Amino acid sequence: MSAKSFSIAPVATVLIFFLMIQLSMQAPLNGSKWSYIGPDGEKAWPKKYPFCGGVFQSPIDFHKDILQYDSNLLPLEFIGYNVPSTDQFTLTNNGHSVKMYLSPTMYIRNLPFEYTASQLHLHWGNRNKSEGSEHTVSGKHFAAEMHIVHYNSEKYPDIAAAMDKADGLAVLAILLEIGPFNPSYEKIFRHFRNVKYKDQTVQVPGFNIRELLPDRLDEFYRYEGSLTTPPCYPSVLWTVFRHPVKISQEQLLALETAMYCTESDDPEPLEMVDNFRNVQEFRERLVFISFREGFVVSLVIVCVLGVLIVLAVAVWLLRRKSCKNEGKDNRGVIYKPGAYKEEDNISKP
Protein backbone atom coordinates (compact mmCIF):
# COMPACT_ATOMS: atom_id res chain seq x y z
CA MET A 1 0.00 0.00 0.00
CA SER A 2 2.79 2.37 0.86
CA ALA A 3 4.49 1.62 -2.46
CA LYS A 4 1.22 2.35 -4.32
CA SER A 5 0.62 5.73 -2.63
CA PHE A 6 4.27 6.59 -3.24
CA SER A 7 3.87 6.10 -7.00
CA ILE A 8 0.51 7.90 -7.35
CA ALA A 9 1.66 11.26 -5.93
CA PRO A 10 4.27 12.09 -8.61
CA VAL A 11 1.94 10.87 -11.38
CA ALA A 12 -0.83 13.14 -10.09
CA THR A 13 1.58 16.09 -9.90
CA VAL A 14 2.71 15.54 -13.48
CA LEU A 15 -0.92 15.23 -14.65
CA ILE A 16 -1.91 18.47 -12.90
CA PHE A 17 1.13 20.20 -14.42
CA PHE A 18 0.18 19.09 -17.93
CA LEU A 19 -3.44 20.11 -17.32
CA MET A 20 -2.26 23.59 -16.31
CA ILE A 21 -0.10 23.86 -19.43
CA GLN A 22 -3.04 22.70 -21.53
CA LEU A 23 -5.33 25.33 -19.98
CA SER A 24 -2.69 28.03 -20.47
CA MET A 25 -2.15 27.09 -24.10
CA GLN A 26 -5.89 27.10 -24.79
CA ALA A 27 -6.51 30.42 -23.11
CA PRO A 28 -5.25 32.66 -25.94
CA LEU A 29 -7.17 30.59 -28.50
CA ASN A 30 -10.36 31.28 -26.56
CA GLY A 31 -9.77 34.97 -27.15
CA SER A 32 -8.80 35.68 -23.57
CA LYS A 33 -6.97 38.89 -22.85
CA TRP A 34 -5.17 40.31 -19.88
CA SER A 35 -4.23 43.75 -18.63
CA TYR A 36 -2.81 45.50 -15.59
CA ILE A 37 -6.05 47.30 -14.68
CA GLY A 38 -9.80 46.66 -14.76
CA PRO A 39 -11.62 43.33 -14.82
CA ASP A 40 -8.74 41.63 -16.68
CA GLY A 41 -6.17 42.94 -14.17
CA GLU A 42 -3.65 40.78 -12.35
CA LYS A 43 -6.14 39.49 -9.75
CA ALA A 44 -8.04 37.85 -12.61
CA TRP A 45 -4.98 36.35 -14.34
CA PRO A 46 -5.11 32.95 -12.56
CA LYS A 47 -8.65 32.27 -13.86
CA LYS A 48 -7.42 32.04 -17.44
CA TYR A 49 -3.74 31.42 -16.74
CA PRO A 50 -3.52 28.99 -13.78
CA PHE A 51 0.26 29.29 -13.41
CA CYS A 52 -0.24 32.93 -12.37
CA GLY A 53 -1.82 31.61 -9.17
CA GLY A 54 0.82 28.91 -8.75
CA VAL A 55 4.29 28.55 -7.31
CA PHE A 56 7.65 30.23 -8.03
CA GLN A 57 5.99 33.47 -9.07
CA SER A 58 7.79 36.73 -9.88
CA PRO A 59 8.49 39.55 -9.23
CA ILE A 60 9.47 39.54 -5.56
CA ASP A 61 10.79 41.90 -2.91
CA PHE A 62 14.43 41.44 -1.91
CA HIS A 63 14.69 41.77 1.87
CA LYS A 64 17.39 40.51 4.19
CA ASP A 65 15.47 37.52 5.61
CA ILE A 66 15.50 35.73 2.25
CA LEU A 67 18.96 36.69 0.99
CA GLN A 68 21.88 34.30 1.18
CA TYR A 69 25.42 35.06 0.06
CA ASP A 70 26.78 32.50 -2.41
CA SER A 71 30.50 32.74 -3.19
CA ASN A 72 30.07 30.41 -6.20
CA LEU A 73 28.00 32.91 -8.21
CA LEU A 74 30.07 34.01 -11.20
CA PRO A 75 29.51 37.24 -13.14
CA LEU A 76 27.77 36.57 -16.46
CA GLU A 77 29.69 36.68 -19.70
CA PHE A 78 28.07 38.44 -22.63
CA ILE A 79 28.88 37.15 -26.09
CA GLY A 80 27.80 38.82 -29.32
CA TYR A 81 26.18 41.70 -27.43
CA ASN A 82 28.00 44.28 -29.56
CA VAL A 83 25.69 44.26 -32.58
CA PRO A 84 26.93 46.23 -35.63
CA SER A 85 24.85 49.19 -36.78
CA THR A 86 24.39 47.48 -40.14
CA ASP A 87 22.14 44.93 -38.34
CA GLN A 88 18.72 46.02 -37.15
CA PHE A 89 16.50 45.25 -34.19
CA THR A 90 12.72 45.31 -34.56
CA LEU A 91 11.04 47.46 -31.91
CA THR A 92 7.33 46.86 -31.36
CA ASN A 93 4.40 47.86 -29.18
CA ASN A 94 2.67 44.60 -28.18
CA GLY A 95 -0.13 46.29 -26.24
CA HIS A 96 1.49 45.49 -22.86
CA SER A 97 5.00 46.90 -23.26
CA VAL A 98 7.54 48.14 -25.75
CA LYS A 99 9.61 45.19 -26.90
CA MET A 100 12.79 44.93 -28.97
CA TYR A 101 13.69 41.63 -30.63
CA LEU A 102 17.37 40.79 -30.24
CA SER A 103 19.91 39.08 -32.41
CA PRO A 104 20.12 35.25 -32.09
CA THR A 105 23.92 35.64 -32.14
CA MET A 106 23.74 37.16 -28.64
CA TYR A 107 24.06 34.77 -25.72
CA ILE A 108 25.14 34.60 -22.08
CA ARG A 109 27.46 32.21 -20.25
CA ASN A 110 28.15 31.28 -16.62
CA LEU A 111 24.68 29.88 -15.95
CA PRO A 112 23.91 26.14 -15.79
CA PHE A 113 23.30 26.27 -19.55
CA GLU A 114 24.02 28.63 -22.42
CA TYR A 115 21.09 31.01 -22.97
CA THR A 116 20.47 32.86 -26.25
CA ALA A 117 18.92 36.34 -26.28
CA SER A 118 15.37 36.70 -27.58
CA GLN A 119 14.01 40.14 -26.71
CA LEU A 120 14.10 43.00 -24.23
CA HIS A 121 11.20 45.05 -22.90
CA LEU A 122 10.41 47.51 -20.12
CA HIS A 123 8.03 47.96 -17.20
CA TRP A 124 7.24 51.42 -15.79
CA GLY A 125 4.85 53.54 -13.70
CA ASN A 126 3.11 56.78 -14.67
CA ARG A 127 4.01 60.47 -14.85
CA ASN A 128 2.61 61.15 -11.36
CA LYS A 129 4.12 58.09 -9.70
CA SER A 130 7.44 56.98 -11.13
CA GLU A 131 7.58 53.70 -9.22
CA GLY A 132 7.24 51.16 -11.98
CA SER A 133 9.90 48.53 -11.31
CA GLU A 134 8.66 44.98 -10.82
CA HIS A 135 11.28 43.82 -8.33
CA THR A 136 11.63 45.87 -5.17
CA VAL A 137 14.46 46.13 -2.63
CA SER A 138 13.36 46.27 1.02
CA GLY A 139 9.92 47.32 -0.20
CA LYS A 140 11.28 50.14 -2.36
CA HIS A 141 10.31 50.44 -6.03
CA PHE A 142 12.67 51.84 -8.62
CA ALA A 143 11.43 54.12 -11.42
CA ALA A 144 11.35 51.40 -14.09
CA GLU A 145 12.81 48.01 -14.97
CA MET A 146 14.14 46.47 -18.15
CA HIS A 147 14.11 42.71 -18.84
CA ILE A 148 16.42 40.98 -21.30
CA VAL A 149 14.88 37.58 -22.02
CA HIS A 150 17.06 34.60 -23.00
CA TYR A 151 16.14 30.96 -23.64
CA ASN A 152 18.08 27.76 -22.97
CA SER A 153 19.48 27.15 -26.45
CA GLU A 154 21.46 24.11 -25.30
CA LYS A 155 18.26 22.16 -24.67
CA TYR A 156 15.54 23.82 -26.76
CA PRO A 157 15.34 24.90 -30.42
CA ASP A 158 13.54 28.20 -29.80
CA ILE A 159 11.90 30.34 -27.13
CA ALA A 160 8.44 28.88 -27.77
CA ALA A 161 9.73 25.41 -26.90
CA ALA A 162 11.66 26.69 -23.88
CA MET A 163 9.23 29.08 -22.22
CA ASP A 164 7.17 26.51 -20.29
CA LYS A 165 10.14 24.37 -19.20
CA ALA A 166 11.56 24.65 -15.68
CA ASP A 167 15.06 25.34 -17.07
CA GLY A 168 13.80 27.16 -20.16
CA LEU A 169 14.49 30.85 -19.60
CA ALA A 170 17.04 33.21 -18.10
CA VAL A 171 16.02 36.84 -17.68
CA LEU A 172 18.30 39.72 -16.76
CA ALA A 173 16.63 42.57 -14.90
CA ILE A 174 18.03 46.10 -14.87
CA LEU A 175 16.55 48.55 -12.39
CA LEU A 176 16.26 52.13 -13.68
CA GLU A 177 16.41 55.32 -11.63
CA ILE A 178 16.57 59.03 -12.37
CA GLY A 179 19.98 60.58 -13.04
CA PRO A 180 21.82 62.14 -15.97
CA PHE A 181 20.73 61.71 -19.59
CA ASN A 182 21.59 58.22 -20.84
CA PRO A 183 22.66 58.23 -24.52
CA SER A 184 22.57 54.40 -24.74
CA TYR A 185 18.92 54.12 -23.66
CA GLU A 186 18.14 56.96 -26.06
CA LYS A 187 19.08 54.61 -28.91
CA ILE A 188 15.77 52.84 -28.11
CA PHE A 189 13.75 55.66 -26.58
CA ARG A 190 14.09 57.98 -29.59
CA HIS A 191 11.96 55.53 -31.59
CA PHE A 192 8.98 55.56 -29.21
CA ARG A 193 7.00 57.95 -31.43
CA ASN A 194 6.98 55.25 -34.11
CA VAL A 195 5.51 52.59 -31.81
CA LYS A 196 2.90 54.77 -30.12
CA TYR A 197 0.08 52.30 -30.81
CA LYS A 198 -0.34 48.54 -30.48
CA ASP A 199 1.17 46.42 -33.27
CA GLN A 200 3.26 49.26 -34.71
CA THR A 201 6.90 48.40 -35.39
CA VAL A 202 10.09 50.26 -36.26
CA GLN A 203 13.66 49.22 -37.10
CA VAL A 204 16.44 50.23 -34.68
CA PRO A 205 20.08 50.20 -35.86
CA GLY A 206 22.27 47.72 -33.99
CA PHE A 207 24.37 48.89 -31.05
CA ASN A 208 26.20 47.41 -28.07
CA ILE A 209 23.43 46.06 -25.79
CA ARG A 210 26.08 45.79 -23.04
CA GLU A 211 25.75 49.62 -22.74
CA LEU A 212 22.26 49.13 -21.27
CA LEU A 213 23.63 47.11 -18.34
CA PRO A 214 25.05 48.59 -15.13
CA ASP A 215 28.84 49.01 -14.79
CA ARG A 216 28.98 46.60 -11.87
CA LEU A 217 27.98 43.23 -13.31
CA ASP A 218 29.44 41.21 -10.44
CA GLU A 219 26.76 42.14 -7.90
CA PHE A 220 23.31 40.62 -8.46
CA TYR A 221 20.36 38.73 -7.00
CA ARG A 222 19.74 35.23 -8.37
CA TYR A 223 16.58 33.18 -7.86
CA GLU A 224 14.18 30.81 -9.59
CA GLY A 225 10.92 32.46 -10.55
CA SER A 226 8.45 33.01 -13.35
CA LEU A 227 7.36 35.18 -16.25
CA THR A 228 5.78 38.30 -14.75
CA THR A 229 3.07 38.33 -17.41
CA PRO A 230 0.53 35.64 -18.36
CA PRO A 231 0.92 32.72 -18.74
CA CYS A 232 3.34 33.20 -15.76
CA TYR A 233 5.26 29.97 -16.44
CA PRO A 234 7.63 29.15 -13.55
CA SER A 235 10.50 28.82 -16.01
CA VAL A 236 12.79 31.76 -15.30
CA LEU A 237 16.24 31.85 -13.75
CA TRP A 238 16.38 35.49 -12.68
CA THR A 239 19.47 37.68 -12.46
CA VAL A 240 18.55 41.08 -11.06
CA PHE A 241 21.51 43.45 -11.04
CA ARG A 242 22.05 45.15 -7.70
CA HIS A 243 23.11 48.52 -9.11
CA PRO A 244 20.50 50.52 -11.00
CA VAL A 245 21.16 52.29 -14.30
CA LYS A 246 20.38 56.00 -14.54
CA ILE A 247 18.21 57.67 -17.16
CA SER A 248 17.12 61.31 -17.12
CA GLN A 249 13.80 62.64 -15.83
CA GLU A 250 12.91 63.57 -19.43
CA GLN A 251 13.73 60.07 -20.70
CA LEU A 252 11.61 58.49 -17.96
CA LEU A 253 8.74 60.85 -18.77
CA ALA A 254 9.00 59.84 -22.45
CA LEU A 255 8.70 56.18 -21.40
CA GLU A 256 5.73 56.92 -19.13
CA THR A 257 3.79 58.95 -21.68
CA ALA A 258 4.75 57.83 -25.19
CA MET A 259 2.66 54.72 -25.75
CA TYR A 260 -0.84 53.32 -25.79
CA CYS A 261 -2.09 49.77 -25.17
CA THR A 262 -4.63 50.27 -27.93
CA GLU A 263 -4.44 50.37 -31.71
CA SER A 264 -4.25 53.69 -33.56
CA ASP A 265 -7.92 53.58 -34.66
CA ASP A 266 -9.31 52.61 -31.23
CA PRO A 267 -12.06 55.08 -30.21
CA GLU A 268 -11.09 54.63 -26.55
CA PRO A 269 -7.30 54.94 -26.38
CA LEU A 270 -5.76 53.42 -23.26
CA GLU A 271 -2.42 54.86 -22.08
CA MET A 272 0.34 52.31 -21.52
CA VAL A 273 1.14 53.07 -17.87
CA ASP A 274 1.78 51.05 -14.68
CA ASN A 275 2.60 47.92 -16.66
CA PHE A 276 4.24 46.15 -13.72
CA ARG A 277 3.03 43.17 -11.71
CA ASN A 278 2.91 43.45 -7.91
CA VAL A 279 5.45 41.49 -5.85
CA GLN A 280 4.52 37.88 -5.13
CA GLU A 281 4.73 35.82 -1.96
CA PHE A 282 8.11 34.25 -1.43
CA ARG A 283 7.88 31.46 1.10
CA GLU A 284 10.42 28.73 1.83
CA ARG A 285 12.66 29.95 -0.95
CA LEU A 286 15.95 31.82 -0.94
CA VAL A 287 17.47 34.48 -3.15
CA PHE A 288 21.19 33.97 -3.62
CA ILE A 289 23.33 37.09 -3.74
CA SER A 290 26.80 37.51 -5.21
CA PHE A 291 27.73 40.28 -2.78
CA ARG A 292 27.99 40.64 0.97
CA GLU A 293 25.12 42.69 2.27
CA GLY A 294 25.90 46.34 2.97
CA PHE A 295 24.64 45.94 6.52
CA VAL A 296 27.04 43.09 7.32
CA VAL A 297 29.96 44.90 5.68
CA SER A 298 29.23 48.09 7.68
CA LEU A 299 28.95 46.02 10.86
CA VAL A 300 32.34 44.43 10.21
CA ILE A 301 33.90 47.84 9.43
CA VAL A 302 32.42 49.33 12.64
CA CYS A 303 33.71 46.36 14.69
CA VAL A 304 37.20 46.54 13.17
CA LEU A 305 37.33 50.33 13.68
CA GLY A 306 36.12 49.89 17.28
CA VAL A 307 38.83 47.33 18.03
CA LEU A 308 41.48 49.56 16.39
CA ILE A 309 40.41 52.59 18.46
CA VAL A 310 40.47 50.55 21.70
CA LEU A 311 43.93 49.20 20.77
CA ALA A 312 45.22 52.68 19.88
CA VAL A 313 43.98 54.11 23.21
CA ALA A 314 45.47 51.16 25.12
CA VAL A 315 48.87 51.57 23.39
CA TRP A 316 48.81 55.33 24.06
CA LEU A 317 48.02 54.80 27.75
CA LEU A 318 50.76 52.17 28.09
CA ARG A 319 53.30 54.38 26.38
CA ARG A 320 52.28 57.34 28.52
CA LYS A 321 52.71 55.22 31.63
CA SER A 322 56.09 53.89 30.55
CA CYS A 323 57.20 57.44 29.65
CA LYS A 324 56.35 58.57 33.18
CA ASN A 325 58.34 55.66 34.61
CA GLU A 326 61.25 56.43 32.28
CA GLY A 327 61.03 60.07 33.40
CA LYS A 328 61.43 58.97 37.04
CA ASP A 329 64.40 56.74 36.14
CA ASN A 330 65.97 59.48 34.01
CA ARG A 331 66.08 61.86 36.96
CA GLY A 332 68.28 59.35 38.70
CA VAL A 333 70.29 58.71 35.54
CA ILE A 334 70.95 62.42 34.95
CA TYR A 335 72.45 62.65 38.38
CA LYS A 336 74.49 59.49 38.05
CA PRO A 337 76.43 60.26 34.79
CA GLY A 338 77.99 63.25 36.56
CA ALA A 339 79.27 60.90 39.23
CA TYR A 340 80.57 58.48 36.60
CA LYS A 341 82.35 61.32 34.74
CA GLU A 342 84.06 62.37 37.89
CA GLU A 343 85.02 58.85 38.56
CA ASP A 344 86.18 58.53 34.90
CA ASN A 345 88.25 61.66 35.14
CA ILE A 346 89.74 60.48 38.37
CA SER A 347 90.55 57.11 36.96
CA LYS A 348 92.19 58.66 33.81
CA PRO A 349 95.92 59.07 33.90
Strand partners, 172: 148, 239
Task: State yes or no: is 96 an active-site residue.
Answer: yes
283/223 Cα distance (integer angstroms): 13
Residues 112-151, mask of contacts with Zn ion (x by CB under 5 A): -----------------------------------x----
Q: Which of 102, 106, 99 is nearest to 81 (CA)?
A: 106
CB 287 within 8 A of CB 221: yes
CB 243 within 8 A of CB 214: yes
Q: Tell me how many residues contact Zn ion (CB under 5 A).
A: 1
The least distance separating Zn ion from the CB of residue 295, rounded to whole angstroms, comes to 29
Q: Of 141 and 147, which has the nearer Cβ to Zn ion?
A: 147
C-alpha dist (Å) from residue 164 to 20, 116, 137, 159, 170: 11, 16, 27, 9, 12
Q: Of 275 and 291, which has the nearer Cβ to Zn ion?
A: 275
The residue sitting closest to Zn ion, measured at its beta carbon, is 147
The least distance separating Zn ion from the CB of residue 84, rounded to whole angstroms, comes to 27
The least distance separating Zn ion from the CB of residue 147, rounded to whole angstroms, comes to 4
Q: Does the protein bind Zn ion through residue 96 (CB under 5 A)? A: no
Compute φ and ψ for 261, nearest 5 degrees.
-80, -15
Q: Of 152 and 291, which has the nearer Cβ to Zn ion?
A: 152
The least distance separating Zn ion from the CB of residue 138, rounded to whole angstroms, comes to 21
Q: Of 147 and 198, which has the nearer Cβ to Zn ion?
A: 147
273/123 Cα distance (integer angstroms): 9
98/192 Cα distance (integer angstroms): 8
The least distance separating Zn ion from the CB of residue 304, rounded to whole angstroms, comes to 41
Q: Of 50 and 132, which has the nearer Cβ to Zn ion?
A: 132
Active-site annotation holder among 96, 141, 147, 150: 96
- Amino acid symbol at 224: E
Q: Annotate 76-123 with three-state secondary structure.
A: CEEECCECCCCCEEEEEECCCCEEEECCCCCEEECCCCCEEEEEEEEE
Tell how far CA 86 is from the center of its chain. 31
Strand partners, 68: 288
133/169 Cα distance (integer angstroms): 20
Chain residues binding Zn ion by CB under 5 A are 147
What residues act catalytically?
96
